[in-house]
Amino acid sequence: QVQLVESGGGLVQAGGSLRLSCATSGIIFSRVDMGWYRQAPGKQREFVARITKSGTTNYADSVKGRFTISTDNAKNTVYLQMNSLEPEDTAVYYCAVGKILTVNPNGAQYWGQGTQVTVSS
């Protein structure tokens, strides 16, 4: 009964911004880590951002300072605010849930279906 549904992706120009949303059901936010991973064509899925049970955030070096992960517990929603987007950010972005999320995507227990982000130069 766990569901994660991403939205907010699209086509933007370099330097632009997008906010991704992950609407969740069937999970207890206070007991899990929430995160975002992405997968570009021909590449492995990679870690982007994490927010822990206590609210601590972590980011991949490639996005640190540009992306912000946050939650709205009342709405059961996780967000990824993406600023100063670069063509290298082009990928399908996936919302993930796990008891402990790390840079290894194999640790996630649940995944959304993904939302496409394309950044043109």
pLDDT, tens digit, for every residue of 92-104? 999 999 999 999 9
3-state secondary structure of 54: coil
- Residues 35-56 have a mean pLDDT of 97
d(CA 93, CA 74): 23
Could you tell me which residues come within 8 angstroms of residue 11 by beta carbon, excluding any fewer than 6 positions away? Answer: 118, 119, 120
User: pLDDT-derived band of residue 65, with 50, 70 and 90 as boundaries?
Assistant: very high
Q: Which DSSP letter does residue 65 get? A: T
Residue 29 above 90 pLDDT? no
Angle at CA of residue 30, ends 83 and 75, nearest 5°: 60
Residue 18: its H or E element: strand 18-25
Mean pLDDT of the chain: 97
pLDDT value for 94 = 98
Residue 111 above 90 pLDDT? yes
What residue type is 1 in one-letter code? Q
